[in-house]
Amino acid sequence: MVVSKLGNDKVGMSMIEQLFPEVTSYALKYLDHSSLCQLSMTSSSMRKAANDDDLWRSLYYQEFTEETNGGTPVNGWKAHYAVTKQVMDVNYEFFSILDSRSLPRMTSFWLNSDYVKCFNGTGELFSGFDAVMQRWEFSFDNWEIGFPLEALEVRTRILDSVAWVTMIALHHIIGDPFNITNVFELHNGRWLMVHHHSSIIPTNGVSEDVSEWFDAQKLNEDGVLMEQAEVVRGVSLKWKPPPVEWFKCNIGVSWSNRNKLAGCAWVLRDHMGVVLLHSRRAFARTVDKQQAQFKGLLWAIESMRSHRVEKVIFGLQDKVLVNAVNRPAAWPSYRYLSMEVSLALLPVNRWKFFLENSVSNRGASLIAKSVTNDGRLLSYVAANHPAWLEGVFADERTLSSV
């Protein structure tokens, strides 16, 4: 009987060591991995009980969800638990890095190789270590809302020195869920990221997508499709002033592929065409023209907020950005860009976007080109227009009144 067995206590044995093996195994299932490891160091009998393969298998399925074929790990469940926990800890470190916006941590987190890849929420692909790090630097510098993400439904799969983790991540500010896949490789005892892919999950299914598409096809008061109206309004070869009590902020962007340098400028005018303010800024490590346009737009919006400008029309030459902001439902591939711009615009009371051309946006474009063409890297904000462009802005003001 149990009573008689417990009555014959052996010297040096704890109470748990005197239990039947079945009872011991059942009790140990309530311990976490740290407690099991500590218990295994107390005695040889406890080491044997705490290293039981079925025990670690049960613990594994309590804590992890694996993309698996249901087989038994080659090195046993304890070893499989340990390596899985390593991968999961590294994966959660990724979200910690996003939250801290630490570029040095992100740099050491990735494998320094030309085959690493990053697909971010905009649908863009960045290949190679340098390009990937440039993209993260841009993201950390420009995405003001940050990365408050919560990982859900995390699943992992590990094969030798390669592991991939899939999950759904919820952004606590935007509210939209993301599908995320992270791939890691084991190098010198460290799991390093080699691939990251994120994409927004449609929240309400096909019916909402269809509804949004029909909304996107609505006609304006002139009987023209809204998207076509945006293009038609931008065909005019002269600068168009804003309505009374409104302001217009023209944004010029120039990009150099040779040194990955972007020059950006904005010019703020009233309804009479008078230049109130203008500014110029250089952006280093800009990977392409689209990124340059995006940086320039976010910077111009932030500038209008800083100068407390309300009722502002943003005029720029990038058709993609204009339509993605004005009609996000019809441009789903650029939904992430439109969300970032919309969030940046939240403090602005009233705003509009206008598609410009090279003639109507000439003044702002020439200021931006002074960065890439003339090497004028000094950033500044000044009243009126630049003296060296007196003729250009005088012509734009005259033509707009004709």
In a domain, 237, yes or no: yes
User: 42 and 184: one domain?
Assistant: no
In contact, 371 and 263? CB cutoff 8 Å: yes
Higher pLDDT residue, 20 or 169?
Answer: 169
Q: Give pLDDT, residue 251.
A: 97
What's the rounded Cα separation, in Å, for the pair 205 and 209? 7
In contact, 327 and 355? CB cutoff 8 Å: no
Q: Give pLDDT, residue 215.
A: 47
Of 37-41, 60-64, 318-322, 390-394, the least confident: 37-41
DSSP symbol at 256: E
The CB density around residue 51, as the number of other CB atoms within 10 Å, is 15
In a domain, 349, yes or no: yes
What's the rounded Cα separation, in Å, for the pair 213 and 204? 14
User: 255 and 303: one domain?
Assistant: yes
Please classify residue 12 by burial: count the beta carbons closer than 10 Å to its beta carbon, then call 0-12 exposed, 13-18 middle and 19+ buried. Answer: exposed
User: 243 and 343: one domain?
Assistant: yes
Supply 4's token pair: 């008689």
By residue range, what is the domain housing residue 347?
225-400
Please, which residues have CB within 8 angstroms of residue 231's CB and are 6 or more apart in sequence? 319, 355
- pLDDT at residue 230 is higher than 50: no
User: 30 and 160: one domain?
Assistant: no
User: 249 and 366: one domain?
Assistant: yes
Supply 256's token pair: 């150099």
- pLDDT at residue 283 is higher than 50: yes
Higher pLDDT residue, 235 or 380?
Answer: 380
Higher pLDDT residue, 328 or 246?
Answer: 246
Rounded percentage of the chain residues whose pLDDT exceeds 70: 68
Residue recorded with tokens 């976490």 = 32
- pLDDT at residue 400 is higher than 80: no
Supply 210's token pair: 């269809």
In contact, 158 and 87? CB cutoff 8 Å: yes
Supply 177's token pair: 């869920």
Is residue 202 very low, low, confident or very high in pLDDT (cuts 50, 70, 90)?
low
Strand partners for 178:
169, 200
What's the rounded Cα separation, in Å, for the pair 361 and 296? 14
What's the rounded Cα separation, in Å, for the pair 337 and 121? 8
User: 96 and 189: one domain?
Assistant: yes
Q: Give pLDDT, residue 152.
A: 77
Residue recorded with tokens 């615009």 = 345
- pLDDT at residue 125 is higher than 60: yes
Q: Give pLDDT, residue 212.
A: 45
What's the rounded Cα separation, in Å, for the pair 318 and 4? 87
In a domain, 254, yes or no: yes
Specify the pTM.
Answer: 0.47
User: 290 and 368: one domain?
Assistant: yes
Average pLDDT over residues 228-241: 55
Q: Give pLDDT, residue 23.
A: 52
Of 15-19, 40-44, 194-198, 274-278, the least confident: 15-19
Mean pLDDT of the chain: 78
Supply 129's token pair: 């270590």
The set of long-range contacts for 324-328, using a CB threshold of 8 Å and a minimum separation of 24, is 325/353, 326/226, 326/230, 326/353, 327/216, 327/226, 327/227, 327/230
User: 14 and 94: one domain?
Assistant: no
User: 196 and 235: one domain?
Assistant: no
Average pLDDT over residues 355-369: 91
Supply 169's token pair: 């991540």
In a domain, 371, yes or no: yes
Q: Give pLDDT, residue 208.
A: 46
Strand partners for 253:
264
User: 85 and 24: one domain?
Assistant: no
Nearest Cα to Cα of residue 366 among 238, 213, 263, 269: 263
What's the rounded Cα separation, in Å, for the pair 97 and 270? 43
User: 243 and 385: one domain?
Assistant: yes
What's 330's domain CATH number? 3.30.420.10
What's the rounded Cα separation, in Å, for the pair 121 and 216? 22
How many domains are there within the chain? 3
In a domain, 207, yes or no: no
Q: How confident is the model over 144-160, as pLDDT tens digits?
A: 556 677 777 788 888 88
User: 122 and 7: one domain?
Assistant: no
Please classify residue 93 by burial: count the beta carbons closer than 10 Å to its beta carbon, then call 0-12 exposed, 13-18 middle and 19+ buried. Answer: middle
Q: Give pLDDT, residue 5.
A: 43
Q: Give pLDDT, residue 176.
A: 63
In a domain, 248, yes or no: yes
In contact, 262 and 254? CB cutoff 8 Å: yes
What's 86's domain CATH number? 3.10.450.50
Supply 391's token pair: 């003729």
Q: Give pLDDT, residue 25.
A: 58
What's 25's domain CATH number? 1.20.1280
In a domain, 63, yes or no: no
In a domain, 65, yes or no: no
In contact, 400 and 238? CB cutoff 8 Å: yes
Please, which residues have CB within 8 angstroms of residue 365's CB and are 6 or more apart in sequence? 252, 253, 254, 265, 317, 358
